Each structure stands twice: as C-alpha cells, then as structure tokens.
Chains A and B, each alone.
Chain A
Amino acid sequence: MLHVKNLTAAIGDKQILKGLDLDVGDGEVHAIMGPNGSGKSTFAHALAGRDGYEIAGEATLDGADLLDMEPEERAAAGVFMGFQYPVEIPGVNNMYFLRTALNSVRKARGETEVGARNFLQIAHEAMELVDMNEDFLNRAVNAGFSGGEKKRNEILQMAVMQPRLAILDETDSGLDIDALRVIAGGVNALRGPDRSMIVITHYQRLLDYIKPDFVHVLVGGRIVESGDYTLALHLEDHGYADFVNTDLNDAPERPLTGAPS
C-alpha cells in the first residue's frame, strides 16, 4: 500500500529526514517511535503535503506518487493525517467543515456528494465512536476545544473521511488516561483490512491500547531499528539511549574519543 524509499526532507540547510525507508501493507498498523527532534512529525507532514520542505525520494500510495500531489489531492487519494496540534478555525462550523471535507474528496474521486441528511447519520456514528455529543458539531472547528476534545475531533474526522492510510501524529500527547482510552477505542474500531495506519508516538503508553503490527525506531531522520511489538517494550525499559548512540557512531564528523565503552 504505502511505499517509502530513501525519503529526505530539509528546511533550508537543515536536513531532517535523511533517507527513510518504510513499507506498509494493507491493514497493517505501524508504530514509529523516536526521541524529540528525530523527524517523526516531519515524516507525517511530508506524507500529508505540508509546504516549506524540500523533499526528495519516493513515497507512493497504491502506486500513486504522493510527492507530486497537493495536500487535497493526497486526501482524495486516501491519506489522512491526525495532527499533533489540531488547528483552531474560528467562525467555521465543525459540521459544515466536515461535510465540505467529505464531499470534496468524494467529488475528487468522481463519487456523488452526501446530502445533509445522510451526512448527519455519518457524523452521528462517528461521534459515538469517540464519545462526543451533538454540540461539538455546532461549534467552530477546534475553537476553544480542550486538548482532549481536539484530539477526539481528529479521530471523528478520520471516522468520517474513512481514509486508506491514517497517519496519527502524537495523538496521545497531552491526554489523560481516560481520553487516551476513548481515542484508542475509536482508532481500533477503524482498523480494517483495507485501512493501514502509522501511529507516531514518543511514548510506549499509547501502544498498550493500539497494538501495532510493527514498531520502528526513528533517530536522526532514519529508521534505525524495526521489530514487532516487543521493541516498544524494550524502549519503555531502556529509552532511546542505545539508538541515539548508534546514530552518533554513524556520524563521521563527530569524533568518538571519550565515548563510553
């Protein structure tokens, strides 16, 4: 489904992704873990199409070249990104926003648009999934929402959009345990054979609730280790220290003298 090869991303002179390889198959859930500044969010934005990066390498979804597309075209192709910091849009009604989003991708795919009545049903089912009540729909997008409400709104949008590939960027950050459970429940309900997910997180905690098929460690803009769920448990016990040192060893400009043996 998703094929990423030798992906690099830079902002100006600063190289953030330095040749990232990743293959995600149908229905798989991949966790990407890594210390702060390792390039986790940049990877998510590179797939979603944020402006401002110089991108090279390959990223295809079902064979289609994502890097050649505008963000809205990627959404139509089936990419959905759950933002670490969902954006507040005062004055734009949440329901109207959701329906416009859904109908925009349907239109781009040559499908019929969903009418107001049918949409309400879709929205209600999605709201149930993340335990949100009706008045969320009538508020402005994320405006004045608490941290937990914003993250639930992301999952609600994902449930409405029914993406082929969901990239969840630190969806667990800033959540208490109850909110985390609700959100993980929503994500798990959306797992399916036709939908793949990339779950980006700093902490292993989220993976207790959303059990990944594969875990990758991202350090210094590269995936330095891949494994199954037990890799996450290892990170929980030992932190990223092993991998950070590995990365330093790879950096030739950095003298190793004095490094602990």
Chain B
Amino acid sequence: MTTTALPDSDPSAAARLDALDRIGEIGYPTRRDEAWRYAPHRQLGELSFGPPVEVTRAVPDLDARIPELGGPRIVIVNGLVDLNRSDLAAPDGLHVSTLADTLAERPEQVTTHFERSGDEITDAYLAVNIAFGNDGAVIDVADGVTVDVPIHIVDVEVPDTTANASCTGVVVHLGRGSSATVVETHLGVGRVFGGSNIRTTAELDDDATLEHVLLQDVPDTQIHLSRVDVTQGRRSTFRARSFNLGAAYGRVAYDVLLAGEGAHADMSGLYFGFGDQVLDQQVTVVHAAKDCTSRQSYRGVLDDSSTGVFNGGIDVRPGADGTDAEQSNDNLLLSNRAEVNTQPRLEILADEVACKHGATVGQLDETAMYYMRSRGIAADEARRLLINGFADQVVDDVGIAAVRTWLTHRLGHDHE
C-alpha cells in the first residue's frame, strides 16, 4: 500500500490527518479480523489508494451502462466529480452539490462524514476514505419535502497501470418528514487491476424515508469497497436494496444506527457470483432506541468457483425494549466449487425483544426441475427460470421500474 500526500488543505484536514494517524494504530485488516476474513489482503495491499488521479483512458458512453432515471445525476470518475456528465438541477426542496464544493463553502454540512472519533474508525479502509475521499456527492432534502425523482450517483473507476484506487464520499441528509430515493451505480472501465472505496453517510431526521439502491457492477479485474453508514431519527424508514454483482472482490457494508424510537430499517440484497468472484456483505443494525424494527433479507447465487459472504449483525443496546428484528440469508449454489459463508451475529442487551434469524444454503431443486421438464421446458431453460425466480424476489423489492429493468437485463444477460 502506498499513500501520497494529502490534497489541498480544507476545514476537514485535521480530521483527515487524524484518520491517517489512526491507520498507524490499528494497522490494515487481516484474515484474523472477522469482518475481513474473506478479503484478498495481498491484492488490497497492492492498490494505491490516494487523492484523485487523472483519467488516462477514454471513458465510454455511460448512458448505455446505467439505468436511465431521469432525475439529478452526479457522475464521479476516479474520485472527482465530472460536471460535464452530471446534472445538478434539482426540484425545490432538494439540493444536490459536489462534496468538494460543500467542503469549501459549507463544511459544517459534512462534518459528521469526516469527523469520527478514533473508536469509530474501526478499519484502515474507512480511515483511507476519510483521508482521501474529498469529492463526491452531497444530497440535502428540506423538511417535509417529497422528492419524486430518483437521485442518481454514478461512481466510475478508471484504473491505469499504477493500480490506482479512488476514494469517494456521498453525504445524504433527509430533513424531518421528507422522503427521497437515491440510486448509487458503481462501475469501472477497462480490464486492468484497480480499486474503489466509496463511502456514504446518510442521516434521516424524524419521520423521513430514504430508499437507497446500490448497484455494484465494476469489472472483475477490480476490487470494490462500498460502505454505507446510516443514522435514523424517530419513526424514520431506511430501505436498502443492494445488488453486489461485479468485482473480483465486491464488498458492500452497512452500519445502520436506529437512534430514534420507532425507526424502521428494511434491507435486502442480492449477490450473484461467477468465476472466482468473492462477494461480501457485511451488515450491522444497531437498535439503540425503543420500539424499532429491522429486517435483513439477503440472497446469494453462486456459480463456478465464486464465494459469497453474509455477515449479518443485530445489536440490541440496553434500553432498546420492544425491538423487533429479523434476518434471513438464503443461498443457491450452482456449482460444487462455489462456496458461501453465512454468519449471524446477535447481541441482545434489552428486554422484550423479538429477534429471528435463519440461513439456508441449497442447490437447484431437482423436483422443481423435473416438474418443469415434464411440462416440456428444456433443462437449460428450466434451470434459468429457477435461478431467475430465486433472484427476482430481491429485484421485485426495488421500487423504481428502470432499475428493475436494468437488473433483469444485467442478470439475464450474464448467465445465458
């Protein structure tokens, strides 16, 4: 791992330097760290995370590769917003800006994104992102406003031959009683080694509703780290939909804090691996207030020699009485070389708590195959229908038709 000097100083510079110092204390994760057990540490060490690097190859037309959502859009290439490809125009009550501009003009708006206490910086890649991820998107929705169009954040990694890896930041704030949908599409260009490290901080005030869709589809020559930290106020609703599809190592991590009474987190996701891919979901929901509900429902389909990881935590803090939490993880293994590692982590320190969790790992249902074939459907087609049927139950959870269409195409396209 090589790091270069910090970019221009800004008001968050102190916090960012502290984060770099923290790496010295905690070191980089290893296989012994539960949350990083399946990460490719050697390759991660070869990546050069740092400030944005110049794009040295042509970036192809992105429109063909992303869902067409029709709303505001911020495109980030190698850690820098590309204004030519972006459209910041937003309806009343929604403010969309770049993270770099916000740091320069209204740094207080992104304080919580950068200023983390030492204890909160639990791993070096978070520290790296705090240190170098000084551009990206900032979304702010005013109290009581319902934003009808999805806000699209497109993060593109274009590695050259230096194993460069970008850091990007996304900050979302939803005012009291507001609602919005944010779609993050993470892509890459080219067939060379590289990486990306994108971190989203979302704050939901009381009674706000956020639907957050994450589409991870970088090339399998790259390593991708996504992290989403959410803090929820009273009676707020966070809906997370993640589709972890690309990358040699694709990691999607959520840390959701139910801080206000009656908050609700509804999270689902799909990971669909081929070749030697490792697709890693790290989900933690912390119940820190009374009467909150959370649902985690993750599905994996793993073909060839791919590996799936689901590490799902429910953490019920003292006093969080009336907690209602459920977690499920279902996996379909299509090859005898494919592997899945599923682990629930439950820590319950409150009373009157309802917690359920369950995990399944199975193969294609032979009886269902026979049933379909007895109806004249050829074995290959029956197999495809069964796999799609399993995956579509997550796709159907997405509210935006354009995203469902994109996913159907992406999933159908790849295993035909």
Contacts and interface: CB of A to CB of B under 8 A. Distances in A.
Contact of A71 (B365, B367, B370, B391): B370
B376 interface: yes
Interface stretch (A85-93, A125-133, A235-243): A85-93
Interface stretch (B193-201, B211-219, B379-387): B379-387
Interface in B376-416: 376-379, 381, 385-386, 388-393
Contact of A72 (B379, B388, B390, B393): B379
Chain B: interface secondary structure? helix
B372 A97 contact: yes
Contacts of B381: 100, 104
Contacts of B366: 51
A76 interface: yes
Nearest to B392: A91
Given A89-B386, A89-B389, A91-B389, A100 B377 contact: yes
Given A50-B370, A51-B370, A89-B368, A72 B377 contact: yes
Interface string A75-110: 110011101001111111000110011101100100
A161 B374 CA distance: 11
B389 A75 contact: no
B373 interface: yes
Given A49-B374, A87-B368, A92 B385 contact: yes
B351 to A, nearest CB: 35
A80 B366 CA distance: 18
Nearest to A85: B367
A157 interface: yes
A101 B375 contact: yes
Interface string B330-344: 000000000000000
Contacts of A88: 368
A51 B376 CA distance: 15
A54 interface: no
Contact of B376 (A83, A101, A140): A101
A92 to B, nearest CB: 4
Given A90-B393, A92-B386, A75 B368 contact: no
Of residues B367, B376, B386, B392, which shows the largest number of chain A Cβ atoms within 10 Å of its Cβ? B376
Contacts of B392: 91
Given A51-B366, A90-B393, A91-B393, A161 B386 contact: no
A75 B388 contact: no
B135 to A, nearest CB: 40
Interface string A143-174: 00000000000000100010000000000000
Interface of B: 365-368, 370-379, 381, 385-386, 388-393
Given A71-B374, A76-B376, A91-B391, 8 more contacts: A72-B378, A86-B371, A89-B389, A97-B372, A97-B377, A100-B385, A101-B377, A161-B376
Interface of A: 48-51, 70-72, 74-76, 79-81, 83, 86-92, 96-97, 100-102, 104-105, 108, 140, 157, 161
8 closest A-B pairs by CB:
A91-B389, A75-B376, A105-B376, A101-B375, A71-B373, A92-B389, A87-B371, A104-B376
11 contacts: A50-B370, A71-B370, A72-B379, A74-B374, A76-B376, A80-B375, A89-B386, A91-B388, A91-B393, A101-B375, A105-B376
